[in-house]
Structure 1
Amino acid sequence: MSPVSRPAAHARQPGPPFNAPAARRLRVALGMTPGHVAQGLRASYALAHVTPDLVNAWERGALTPAHAELTALAGVLWCSPAELIGRPRTLRECRIARGLAPEDVARAVGHEFTAYTRMEQSGQWRGTDRQCAALAELLGLSLPDLVTVTGREAELADLLRAAARTRWQAYVKPVGRIVPLDRRLLEDALQELHRDYQGRMVATLSWGGGSAAGEASDAGDDFLDRIIDAFWTSLRERTV
């Protein structure tokens, strides 16, 4: 594969989060090769730098299309740009997906511009409850997405794993600082996580040694790996 070369303007200004699997799926459904896509981008959208290797790099997730590239790619694949945009995982990606400038967000949530840009660069949000609420409203964030884009998902996952392994009651308040919901709701969700995990561990002990015990232990590890999803699912079931 030859080196991928892109104009500096495109390389410096990546677009919103890119759904690489969707791009490949749409291309295959149209019976097109990466070469066909590259040809369409060059001929119809004057993107002379696009090669089959660049299209492949996008589909592998090695590179992200810039805004102009993504819009043109949507045209070639006969889809809307929204179909090629993945779920935003950072504050910057959410802002870009909404088409907002950093100064717009800083002003709306009541942060100094330089302070806000530092938070985007570091991936760590520093704001009051009121500012968090303003950010969520401006960017259209659900509570799970707000936790993710403000850089607190890893901290939440660590707390949830500890609650599942040990005394869940000790983690209600720390989890509540990240997920500002009714205490009773959090208590029920943490208790459920603890019960589910401990049930898996009891199964491990009851099987003794051998492959069955190993499978039960693996199930416990898998549960801890997916504990964020289990937590949000538990909360959704209690609020519908």
Structure 2
Amino acid sequence: MAPGHVAYGLAAQYGLRISAETVIAWERGAALPGERELTALAGVLWCAPGELLTAATTLREHRVSRDLTVDDLARQLGMTGSSYLRMEEAGRWRGNEKQSAALCRALGLSAAQFLTAAGRDPELADLLSSAVTTRWQAYVRPVSKIVPMDRARIQEVLEQLHADYQALMVPTLTWSSTGQERSGAPGDAGRAFLSRVVEQFWRTAGV
């Protein structure tokens, strides 16, 4: 369906005055439709709202992809709609452990998806960076508080990440173009490891 036809359908069926240029921007990912606009767009295109979201990352995107209203989801989490909406709009989940588990069930979130949607990836990155560069044992409990995963498994993953990072930081001997040995610089490899430490964590955990 051409952008102009989509814009016409949005106006005729839902009373939304959306230009064809805006529809094109949605298609290209240069702009995002609001919740009402997304629902209307799905209606015009005869599909589910979730089919229009290529890769949901935020709480709102996950909720809309499941075709849940704010009140519907809040009810499943045991909180008011206004309380949930404040967290969704802030991009920061602050529910308790029970509510977090309910959120993962309602939205079908993996542990990795939950952390991203909850806005806690930066916090996890800081904890993991400290764990691999110092004593990993001291970070089992802090990581366990924000990652919905068995504590014993978290301990195993942190130990492995620490070993992997420390192995990178051991200077190695390499041959230069002149055939002479020179000490390799582990700093670059270490920085690269830390820049993707969250990704390494989930990969090691098998998530």
Q: Which amino acid aligns with 2:120?
A: R
Q: Which of the two has greater helix per residue? A: 1
The reply on whether 1:234 has 2:204 as its aligned counterpart is yes
- Quote the residue 2:88 is aligned against: 120
Length, aligned pairs only: 193
* Residue pair 2:59, 2:118 contacting (<8 A) in 1 also: yes
Displacement of 1:123 in angstroms is 1.8
- Do the aligned partners of residues 219 and 54 (structure 1) sit closer, same or farther apart at CA in structure 2, a change above 3 Å counting? farther
Matches of 2:69 and 2:200, distance apart in 1:
34
Q: Give, in whole Å, the separation in 2 of the partners of 1:83 and 1:119.
A: 24
Correspondence for 2:168: 200
Structure 1 residue 137: deviation in Å?
Answer: 0.9
Residue 157 of structure 1 corresponds to 125
Q: Percent identity?
A: 42
Question: How many angstroms does 1:64 deviate by?
Answer: 1.4
Q: Per-residue deviation at 1:42? A: 5.3
Offset at residue 134 of structure 1 (A): 1.1
**1:56–1:219 Cα change, 3 Å:** farther
Q: 2-side partners of 1:128 and 1:46: how far apart?
A: 39
**CA–CA separation in structure 1 for the residues paired with 2:127 and 2:141:** 10
The equivalent residue for 1:184 is 152
Distance apart, 1:163 and its partner CA: 0.8
Q: What is the one-letter code of the residue matched to 1:91?
A: L
Q: What is the aligned partner in structure 1 of residue 3 from structure 2?
A: 38
In structure 1, what residue type is equivalent to 2:135? R
Aligned-partner Cα distance in 1 for 2:201–2:110 = 14
C-alpha distance in structure 2 between counterparts of 1:127 and 1:183, whole Å: 20
Partner of 2:25: 57
1:212 to partner: Cα distance: 8.6
Out of 72, 77, 99, the residue aligned to residue 131 of structure 1 is 99
CA offset at residue 130 of structure 1? 1.3
The alignment's TM-score, normalised by the length of structure 1, stands at 0.68
- When the two chains are superposed, the root-mean-square deviation of aligned CA atoms in Å is 3.1
Q: Distance in 2 between matches of 1:125 and 1:46?
A: 33
Shift of 1:55: 5.0
Unaligned 5+ residue runs, structure 2? 12-16, 175-181
